[in-house]
Chains A and B, each alone.
Chain A
Amino acid sequence: MIENRVVLITGSASGMGRDTAFAMAAAGAKVVINDINEEKVVQTVEELKAQGYEALGVVANICDRASVEDMVGTVTSEFSGIDILVNNAGMERAGPIRNLSEEDWDITINVNLKGAFLCTKAVHSQMVKKGFGRIINIASRAWLGGSGQAPYSSAKAGMVGLTRSIALELGKYGVTSNCIAPGLIHTPMWDELEEKTRKYLLSKQPTGKLGETRDIANAVCFLATEESSFITGQVLYVCGGRSLCAS
């Protein structure tokens, strides 16, 4: 059960993070919507509240330590602490390595990996103090490697290492740290792909189908509960079996 738990979901004003926020709110959690896009944060919080859910919006740049610390301070004073952190914010700059710039690398690593590190660092002490905490990192099946995905794959692989290290470090305090590795999920980004790319990717999919954002939300909800207290340091692939076969 996650009833009355306070959950901070980064990058949750749209896509997978937004749908996860709605799922967790429906399960009784108090949700904190974070994004850098203020308009979307306000809109998402309004929609949550309109459905009778308890929600708070915080505009913050997760790549900036001071911004993250301010966000955690705001949430802590409004909701008296954070129980569950979902490091969901992510972005990708893709392309062959000859075309990738240093800036492509830096921004991808910063948003996906540094952001997760800064948020984990900022919330972990209160979780340790409480003797309960859930850190759920949204990585990607792409951490296994992908042609044209050097920065993204590296960042997501880094998240797996972060997940496992934090699990080893904080396990004894009742804080678990796990990763979810989504495969192909139906998001707005999918709809923007060319028809032939979509066809190709689907042909590689054992289920022959895309996952939905609620499949990720379901996995997050499972790992967030007290029922999963003996699960830590794990990578749960939510990918319709795509992690099992050759690309």
Chain B
Amino acid sequence: MSGFDQKIVLIVGEPDEVAIATGRKLAGAGTVITLCGDNGHSQLEAASASIRLYGNDTGWMHSELSGAEDARNVVGQMTEKYGRLDIVVVNLAAEARMQSRNSVGLDQTPYGSVSYAMHLIEAALPVLRANGQGRIVVIGSIDYLGAPEHAGLSSAYASLFGLTRSLALQIACDGVTVNTVVKGDIEDPAMVEEEKAKVLQSIPVKRLGQAEDVANAIGYFAADAARYVTGQTLFVCGGRSMHYSMSI
């Protein structure tokens, strides 16, 4: 990948496999990564260390991932340290999942992570605009198309979909793109064989995804090569989205 040299990247949310794979992909292409999450210091450091092996120095910062002031503070720390910000990867879908873990109804819809995504983007926009070529990539989940017992989660994910499209229209003239990568079923060691076989039935390519599959798509949207692509939702799901309406 070209055009990434020394670009400043902020990856916000759970430092999970997708965040780490994305960090590795972009760090390997020459960017400087900062992970930002509400996790313990040791977890953030471990994730950063695993990215450092692939490229430039990788930093991390702890945040409560809550509220406008926190979001402004996160962006402020980035600009203070680097003087700029080029690429923001919003990985709050995992946060939403955790927030909804104990939910039994719509009253516990995990909108907290969505509103934080909005606060973060709001805080980052002036800095991204200043470059005239900023990139925002939101990681979504295929569950936004609907999933039984996930009404709250689906609606939170669907908000990210609306956010991407509206924001894209608003900032298209500024050279800043915003796109969503929707991840499908990603390999999880905790998945038992029976469950895996059931999931595979609905995936046309007959394999589970890897975090790297999602990272590769994020890499495309984050690159200069995708400067004319904005407001789009790309499903990285082995074709499973084709079984759903509203996925096109």
Query: A interface vs B, CB < 8 Å?
Result: 160, 164, 167-168, 171-172, 174, 176, 183, 206-208, 211-212, 215, 218-219, 221-222, 225, 227-241, 243-245
Contact = CB atoms under 8 A, between A and B. Distances in A.
A172 to B, nearest CB: 4
A230 B237 contact: yes
A233 B242 contact: yes
B187 to A, nearest CB: 11
Interface stretch (B39-47, B119-127, B166-174, B191-199): B166-174
A216 to B, nearest CB: 8
Contacts of B241: 233-234
Contacts of B225: 215, 218-219, 221-222
A241 B239 contact: no
A234 B172 contact: no
A206 B236 contact: no
Contacts, number: 110
Interface stretch (B59-67, B81-89, B205-213): B205-213
A131 B67 CA distance: 49
Contact of B234 (A176, A211, A231, A245): A231
B213 A229 contact: yes
20 contacts: A167-B204, A168-B242, A171-B203, A171-B204, A172-B204, A176-B205, A176-B239, A206-B168, A206-B169, A215-B227, A219-B226, A221-B225, A222-B226, A227-B216, A228-B216, A229-B213, A238-B229, A241-B230, A241-B231, A245-B169
A229 B207 CA distance: 10
Contacts of B15: none
Interface in B219-248: 219-220, 223, 225-232, 234-239, 241-242, 248
A174 B184 CA distance: 17
A168 B213 CA distance: 19
Contact of A207 (B220, B223, B228, B236): B228
A232 B204 contact: yes
Contacts of A245: 169
B210 A230 contact: yes
B226 to A, nearest CB: 7
B217 interface: yes
Contacts of A215: 225-229
Contacts of A164: 242
A236 B168 contact: no
Nearest to B229: A238
B172 A241 contact: yes
A230 B205 contact: yes
B173 A236 contact: no
B205 A207 contact: no
B235 A231 contact: yes
B228 A235 contact: no
B205 A241 contact: no
Contacts of B216: 225, 227-228
A207 B226 contact: no
A230 B214 CA distance: 8
A207 B204 contact: no
Contacts of A218: 223, 225-226
Nearest to B240: A233
B145 to A, nearest CB: 14
B129 interface: no
B172 A207 contact: yes
Contacts of B217: 228, 231
